[in-house]
Structure 1
Amino acid sequence: MQNLKTHYHPDVVSLDNKSIFTRLATRSIAVQGLSILLLYTERYEDYSLPGGGLDDGEDKIEGMIRELSEETGALEVRNIKPFGIYEEYRPWHKPGFDIQHMISYCYTCEINTELGDSKMEHYEIKNGMTAKWVNIYEAIAHNKKTMLESTKKGMSIERETFLLELLAERMY
């Protein structure tokens, strides 16, 4: 799978003599016309692709389908194709490691427009995360505004906005 970008958080100035925790994740890209299925998170005021961490030894495609279904209630996931890899190095604020190396495997897929019931985790519900079909250009504009103006923005917004812009460029 093609590496789309390697991003270094501004607080990560060097990897020398740092302990690094690697986390493998997937991101799902489900598009219908100009609409894309995204997660809106109230806590961070942003739109993001459905996805999350892979369990130890979990197949990437199976993990992508699991995360997409859990977070959005997506039904009949099909026609899955690789889109690319987004790598990032960011501060790790838990004991044992200095830096997190996140590797996100991104896939396009088709799903039914109508969604079933999601099975979000407690912290996702607490953060006000909801799945919705959004115009891709509106989502990009919203995230860019959040990046410029909001004090709430999370560390993932740069990744999400980059992927949305790349997707819009390639598809439209």
Structure 2
Amino acid sequence: MKRLFEIDLKDYKESDSVFRRPSARAIIRKGDKIALVYSKKEKYYKFPGGGIHDDEDKRQALIREVREEVGMVVIPESIREFGSALRRQKSGMAEDTIFEQENFYYFCDVEDELVEQELDDYESDAEFVLRVVDLDTAIEANDIYSSDVFFNEVMIKRDLRVLRMLKEMKS
């Protein structure tokens, strides 16, 4: 898969250990809009998706994460590569650790019917809901987003870059 961009904050020591958490993220177009996760608490949009378990391939993780986060059922044959974004920064969880996340973005289609979300505690706390919005709405919200948790800001700025890339493709 082609690399779209890298975000490397270089806010760590090269001697730090590396914690890798690859993820799969869905780009789901609905007409001229896009299906995204919206945090009602934090007021940001993100692409549905998340961490790839050791026993999963990227596509399996994508299907599982989309179902869990937004209750949409991905049509496996529709999955197409878009590109990846690499994120490296000092871990917010462990001392002397670099958080490295390769985010694999895929276009995909979903079935019409929704299933129930299965949110993790932090996702419930953030009040994740499905929103189908135009790109400008998501871009505007993420552009002004700020958080006390810098780690979250980097995640949202990453998805903001991908949203802007998608907008460029449309024009």
Q: TM-score w.r.t. structure 1 length?
A: 0.88
Separation of aligned partners in 2, 1:42 and 1:151: 16
Pairing 1:89–2:88 present: yes
Q: Quote the RMSD (CA, aligned, Å).
A: 2.0
The C-alpha deviation readout for 1:125-146, integer Å capped at 9, x for no partner, is: 1111111111111111111122
Q: Give 1:117 shift.
A: 1.6
The C-alpha deviation readout for 1:95-149, integer Å capped at 9, x for no partner, is: 36521000111100011355322111122111111111111111111111225xx
Give the equivalent residue in structure 1 for 2:64.
Answer: 66
The C-alpha deviation readout for 1:18-68, integer Å capped at 9, x for no partner, is: 211111101000002221110111343210000100111311101101001
- For structure 2, the residue ranges without an aligned partner over 5 or more in a row are none
Give the equivalent residue in structure 2 for 1:118.
Answer: 117
Contact 1:28 1:51 in 2 (8 A): yes
Separation of aligned partners in 2, 1:83 and 1:136: 17
Separation of aligned partners in 1, 2:167 and 2:114: 23
Q: TM-score w.r.t. structure 2 length?
A: 0.88
Structure-2 change in CA distance of 1:16 and 1:152 (3 Å)? closer
Contact 1:45 1:152 in 2 (8 A): no
**What number of residue pairs does the alignment pair up?**
168
Give the equivalent residue in structure 1 for 2:99.
Answer: 100
Give the equivalent residue in structure 1 for 2:7.
Answer: 7
- Percent identical among aligned pairs is 27
**1:110 aligned counterpart, secondary structure:** coil
Structure-2 change in CA distance of 1:47 and 1:128 (3 Å)? same
- Residue 27 of structure 1: which of 21, 25, 33 is its match? 25
Contact 2:63 2:74 in 1 (8 A): no
**1:65 aligned counterpart, secondary structure:** helix
- For structure 1, the residue ranges without an aligned partner over 5 or more in a row are none
Find runs of 4+ consecutive structure 1 residues off by over 3 angstroms.
150-153
Contact 1:21 1:97 in 2 (8 A): no
Give the equivalent residue in structure 1 for 2:132.
Answer: 133
Q: Which region of structure 1 is more displaced relative to structure 2, 73-82 or 25-34?
A: 73-82
Structure-2 change in CA distance of 1:19 and 1:142 (3 Å)? same
